[in-house]
Structure 1
Amino acid sequence: MNALAPAATLTLTAPAKLNLMLRILGRRTDGYHELQTVFQLLDYGDTLTFITTDSDTIELDCPGVDVAPQHNLIYRAAQLIKQTCGNETLGARISVNKILPAGGGVGGGSSDAATTLLGLNALWQCGLDTDALAELGRQLGADVPVFVRGHSAFAEGVGEHLTPVSIEPRWYLVLVPDCHVSTAKLFSDPRLTRDSAAITLAALRDRRLDAQWLDEYSGNDFQPLVESLYPEVCLAREWLAQHGRAFLTGTGACVFAGFESEAAAQKVFAERPAGLRGFVAEGVNISPTYRQLAKFAVSIQTD
């Protein structure tokens, strides 16, 4: 590892994701579930700022998140890559501007962890490649690798087998009901559908997912159960469904609908019921994190 300049700084976006499709194919003998899903990355997310320090510690400033540092995915990711780099003298201060809702199903915690791996790998010049970082991410959570790889993708298994896909550009309106959905509660509920038909890779055709493909395969097997357990989610989705096809994302509380333009999405967003939070964001195939890392790499070379 090369020597670092004192107090090097890197700021990155930890993007949100949507599950445009999510099917549960069955339960495995190890208790995990076989899934198929399409991850759509968004050009919107938390902001993480990394600053190298002279100490050998990880300092985390994450206002509004009431979790002990040792249980925070960002802190765990930082410690994991530090151990992997094999240099106990590495230190960093990490500040987080948290805007993605916890338990919302938009991947906030997983994206923060992946961005930490990517950011510290660049800042500390660890030299780990994407495969190695994705493997570290897998140790932290099933959704972390897709953010590490930084491309919208079709996922299988428990989410670890990823096939990059190109998704037709759309703008998304995401609504955030005032409730926290328990993923563990969903997976243990006997009413959960676990026998959906699998989609073959052939169905992805040239791996470009257009509106016709999404109309045919969209849906989320968790949606009926979540709406029965959390009426707030049902109300939000039913309101949004008046303006477009609306679905649950992941195993969280957020619901979304796609629109052809930002103006169309913003118009509906402005009409949402009082007190209902949310945001409008553009779907992207390449993570904004990678654009920012590329600029950082250029800045290092020119310094």
Structure 2
Amino acid sequence: MIRTLTLPSPAKLNLFLHIVGRRPDGYHELQTLFQFLDYGDDITFTLTPDQPGVRLAEPIAGVPDEENLIIRAAKALEARATDHLPGVTISIAKRLPMGGGLGGGSSNAATTLLGLNHLWQLGLSIDELAEMGLTLGADVPVFVRGHAALGEGVGEKLTPVDPPEDWFVVLKPDCDINTGKIFSEQGLTRNTPRITIAPAFEGDASRSRNDCEDVVRKLYPEVNESLEWLTQFGPARLTGTGACIFGRFPTESAARIIWESKPSGITGFVAKGVNISPLHKKLTELK
């Protein structure tokens, strides 16, 4: 049995995000296009046969263990086991900003589900893990399945797609956005017409926007300023409910030229869009 395993926990972008309706339970019906980035956190799982239970090597600042999706994912798996499992210590090299719209917490949960399913040799299928992931968050299933996808419903109904694998400049304005506040704003567009998969790749801005963007720009001047700056060099967009924004470029060199000229005080990174998750590529290498 492998004792230690380090796996990537990649970021995602919402290449577009349309709100097409509201459900009776108050949640919003979405259409969104998920693509992964070759950039993210790394999570290391170390089995501890002499020390039962699930623990983090170091707590994540501001996130109590009982709310941490890594711990919740590990305990959900633990509850499915029929045999005694060795304990595990989990450490994370955190690169993705919290609350940035990059899916960091959901990605961490998915990496934990897939990583511990492998380490503990539980033999659960991707479908079973995705179903378990949905109980942790609407974005977890796309990370579990590991393929770029058109997401519908609350984001859990996934149709695999292959958008162009371009390069992105991702910027994190200096603000924290409350997702609940954005979705409860009166001015939020909630009736965007549904689209089919093909138009999602046609590049028509009217068909590929983020319906949360106007509200976020009004409430968070830092996001508005960053978008105005990045839009000078081509179309730029909010991912999720933010605060991260991204611009798409055809080559790494083009993206890095823009990155080097960014305003001071803004953090972020340059990364390549990928349709197969780096997590799944790594797990395939282990087979």
- What range is the shorter-chain TM-score in? over 0.9
Residue 27 in structure 1 maps to residue 17 in structure 2: no
Aligned to 2:75: 79
**Aligned partners of 1:99, 1:62: CA distance in 2, in Å?**
15
Q: CA deviation at 1:85?
A: 2.1
Q: CA deviation at 1:88?
A: 4.5
What root-mean-square deviation, in Å, do the aligned CA atoms of Structure 1 and Structure 2 show?
1.4
**Contact 2:85/2:120 (CA < 8 Å) preserved in 1?**
no
Q: CA deviation at 1:138?
A: 0.1
Residue 11 in structure 1 maps to residue 6 in structure 2: yes
Gaps of 5+ in 1: 298-303
**Contact 1:172/1:280 (CA < 8 Å) preserved in 2?**
yes
**Contact 1:10/1:296 (CA < 8 Å) preserved in 2?**
no
Aligned to 2:34: 39
1:185-207 deviation per Cα after TM superposition (whole angstroms, max 9, x unaligned)? 11111111101111124646xxx
Q: Which amino acid aligns with 2:33?
A: V
Q: Which amino acid aligns with 1:238?
A: E
**Aligned partners of 1:275, 1:259: CA distance in 2, in Å?**
22
**Aligned partners of 2:133, 2:205: CA distance in 1, in Å?**
31
**Aligned partners of 1:153, 1:57: CA distance in 2, in Å?**
35
Q: Which amino acid aligns with 1:285?
A: N
Residue 93 in structure 1 maps to residue 89 in structure 2: yes
1:263-290 deviation per Cα after TM superposition (whole angstroms, max 9, x unaligned)? 1101100000011101000000100001
1:151-173 deviation per Cα after TM superposition (whole angstroms, max 9, x unaligned)? 11001000010000001120000
Q: TM-score, normalised by structure 2?
A: 0.96
Q: Which amino acid aligns with 2:91?
A: S
1:62-73 aligned at under 5 Å gives the runs 62=58, 64-73=60-69
**Contact 1:50/1:94 (CA < 8 Å) preserved in 2?**
yes
**Aligned partners of 2:224, 2:8: CA distance in 1, in Å?**
30
Q: CA deviation at 1:39?
A: 0.3
Gaps of 5+ in 2: none
Count of matched residue positions in the alignment of Structure 1 and Structure 2 = 286
Structure 1's 239 and 213: CA in aligned 2 closer, same or farther, altered over 3 A?
closer
> Of residues 104, 107, 113 in structure 2, which corresponds to 1:117?
113
Aligned to 2:129: 133
**Aligned partners of 2:83, 2:246: CA distance in 1, in Å?**
43
> Of residues 212, 216, 223 in structure 2, which corresponds to 1:226?
216
Q: TM-score, normalised by structure 1?
A: 0.91
**Contact 2:20/2:193 (CA < 8 Å) preserved in 1?**
yes
